[in-house]
């Protein structure tokens, strides 16, 4: 029985690796850009809304009357 030796095409593998690396970098870049856009939206556009919410989080002292048993 004769076994065939498969010779690798190094240039083709390098091209495939480069394409996959470029694709992964593109996906990561788009995700980082989306994260920065969302962060800017929350910090700049929605600033007043979250400022109001934070003002409502202050400690309030309420007087309560003990219930007679």
How does pLDDT run across 4-57, given as a tens digit for each residue?
877 889 999 999 999 999 999 999 999 999 999 999 999 999 999 999 988 888
Question: What span, in angstroms and rounded, lies between the C-alpha atoms of 9 and 7?
Answer: 7
Q: Domain segments of the chain: what residues?
A: 28-56
29: which 2 tokens?
A: 């870049």
What is the token pair recorded at 39?
């962060």
Report the pLDDT value the prediction gives residue 7, as an integer from 0 to 100.
81
pTM of this prediction exceeds 0.75: no
- The secondary element (H helix, E strand) that includes residue 22 is helix 10-40
Confidence of residue 1 (pLDDT cuts 50, 70, 90): low
């Amino acid at each position: 029985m004769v076994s065939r030796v498969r010779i690798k095409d190094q240039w083709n593998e390098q091209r495939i690796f480069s394409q996959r690396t470029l694709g992964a970098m593109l996906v990561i870049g788009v995700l980082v850009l989306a994260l920065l856009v969302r962060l800017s939206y929350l910090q700049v556009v929605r600033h007043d809304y979250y400022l109001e919410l934070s003002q409502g989080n202050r400690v309030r002292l309420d007087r309560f009357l003990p219930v007679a048993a």
